[in-house]
């Protein structure tokens, strides 16, 4: 992959990041009642996941709302200055309206705020950053609130060994401003829809609303409305695409003369990240791995890993961070972001909430 595939965005500054996880915690060891103890121990050993925060009646927007409120309060942001709200998720509140519209009202943002959803998974955080940065750099926005979160636990069959112990839930908020002269951010994006069937919930949307498909159904394991993951194919895709993605970004970064301080990949699982580190010969101490207590949180995993790497207590961070997301789609996206005294809010634990569907009927 040559640097000609790199997209450069100017005059963008990340101001702060906040993350929220649900209060309920599920131990992977508790799955010994579903699978045998040997299998569960192998799952823990390979994935590195020991527990996950999972929702009860909360949604992705509830978690993102909590994160956004914390970030706005910590940075003392005037809500009227937020002109764009982007919500990235695969687990939206409704088929329609866009969840971003609901969040605009709930957060008390101006009615002049542009608000829209992006339906992306593992690469979703970087796609969101790229979209926000493009608007800002092009002059269409001055301040973007990027909300990224998923509640994949809601679409996982508890009897599916390949995913039951892997996914946790989280919501995140990132504030991004236009700032003249801020360091250039290189982005690399890619898509290969030939792999779409390898990580999919086949039923429930408009291709198959009634669940008549049996392609991924396995009796006693999962049904058509459950997440299906072909782990071997996802692993092969990752090893084929991610090293080239990182190489392109490293080549673009070499012109800056600056070192990369942290590599923050989508937190798929420990087995996959360990293989990537070895394949690319990256310095292990610079690679963030934090799945033990939260699992794979889909599109929220990169900002959540940044927050957890800060020790859950918050504070200012600086450094040159290579961020890379990859997975469902197939889709991949990476960037190198300059973190210059970026505020990281303490991790927020969101209590169980009553669904607010009735709010739309008032």
Convert 44-113 into a string of H (helix), E (strand) and C (coil).
Answer: HHHHCCCEEECCCCCCHHHHHHHHHHHHHHHHCCCHHHCCEEEEECCCCCCCCCCHHHHHHHHCCCCCCC
DSSP letter for each residue of 314-332: -EEEEEEEEEEEEETTTEE
**Residues 85, 172, 141: CA angle, nearest 5 degrees:** 25
Token readout for 259 is 């070192």
CA–CA dist 271, 280 (Å, integer) = 15
CA–CA dist 105, 85 (Å, integer) = 11
pLDDT at 353: 57
Taking CA atoms, 69 is separated from 107, 108, 114, 304, in Å, by 7, 10, 18, 16
Element (H, E) at 135: helix 124-137
pLDDT tens digits along 136-184: 999 999 999 999 999 999 999 999 999 999 999 999 999 999 999 999 9
| Residue 309 main-chain phi, psi, to 5 deg | -65, -20
- Within 10 angstroms of residue 345's Cβ, the number of other Cβ atoms is 24
Report residue 328 CA to chain centroid gap. 12
CA dihedral 257, 261, 265, 271 (to 10 degrees): 120
88-112 burial code (b ≥16 CB/10 A, e <16): bbbbbbeeeebbbbbbbebbebeee
CA–CA dist 90, 79 (Å, integer) = 26
User: What domains sit in the chain, N to C, each tagged with a CATH number?
Assistant: 3-355 (3.40.47.10)
Question: Mean pLDDT, 10 residues at a time, over the chain (362 residues)?
Answer: 73 97 94 90 94 95 98 97 98 96 98 98 97 94 97 95 94 97 95 96 92 87 92 95 95 84 96 95 95 96 95 88 96 96 94 48 33
Q: Which of 323, 259, 311 is nearest to 287 (CA)?
A: 323
pLDDT tens digits along 298-330: 999 999 999 999 877 889 999 999 999 999 999
| Residue 345 main-chain phi, psi, to 5 deg | -70, 150
């Amino acid at each position: 992959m040559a640097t000609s595939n790199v997209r450069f965005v100017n005059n963008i500054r990340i101001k702060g990041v906040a993350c929220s996880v649900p209060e309920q915690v599920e131990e992977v060891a508790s799955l010994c009642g579903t699978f045998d103890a040997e299998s569960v121990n192998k799952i823990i050993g390979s994935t590195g996941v020991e527990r996950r925060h999972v929702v009860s009646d909360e949604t992705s927007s509830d978690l993102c709302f909590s994160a956004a409120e914390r970030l706005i309060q910590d940075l003392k942001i005037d809500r009227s200055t937020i002109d764009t709200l982007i919500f990235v998720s695969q687990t939206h509140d409704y088929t329609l309206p866009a969840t971003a519209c609901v969040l605009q009202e709930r957060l008390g943002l101006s009615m002049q705020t542009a608000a829209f959803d992006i339906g992306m998974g593992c690469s979703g955080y970087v796609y969101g950053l790229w979209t926000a940065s493009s608007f800002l750099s092009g002059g269409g926005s001055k301040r973007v609130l990027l909300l990224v979160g998923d509640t994949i636990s809601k679409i996982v069959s508890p009897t599916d060994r390949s995913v039951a112990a892997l996914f946790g839930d989280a919501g995140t908020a990132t504030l991004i401003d236009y700032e003249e002269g801020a360091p250039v951010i290189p982005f690399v994006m890619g898509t290969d829809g030939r792999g779409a069937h390898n990580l999919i919930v086949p039923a429930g949307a408009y291709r198959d609303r009634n669940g008549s498909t049996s392609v991924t159904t396995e009796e006693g394991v999962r049904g058509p409305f459950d997440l299906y993951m072909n782990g071997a194919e996802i692993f092969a895709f990752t090893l084929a695409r991610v090293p080239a993605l990182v190489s392109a970004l490293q080549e673009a970064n070499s012109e800056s003369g600056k070192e990369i301080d942290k590599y923050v990949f989508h937190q798929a699982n420990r087995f996959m990240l360990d293989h990537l580190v070895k394949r690319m010969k990256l310095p292990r101490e610079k690679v963030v791995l934090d799945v033990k207590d939260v699992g794979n949180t889909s599109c929220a995993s990169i900002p959540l890993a940044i927050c957890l790497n800060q020790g859950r207590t918050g504070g200012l961070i600086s450094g040159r961070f290579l961020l890379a997301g990859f997975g469902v789609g197939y889709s991949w996206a990476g960037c190198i972001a300059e973190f210059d005294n970026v505020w990281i809010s303490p991790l927020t634990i969101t209590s169980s909430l009553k669904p607010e569907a009735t709010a739309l009927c008032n």
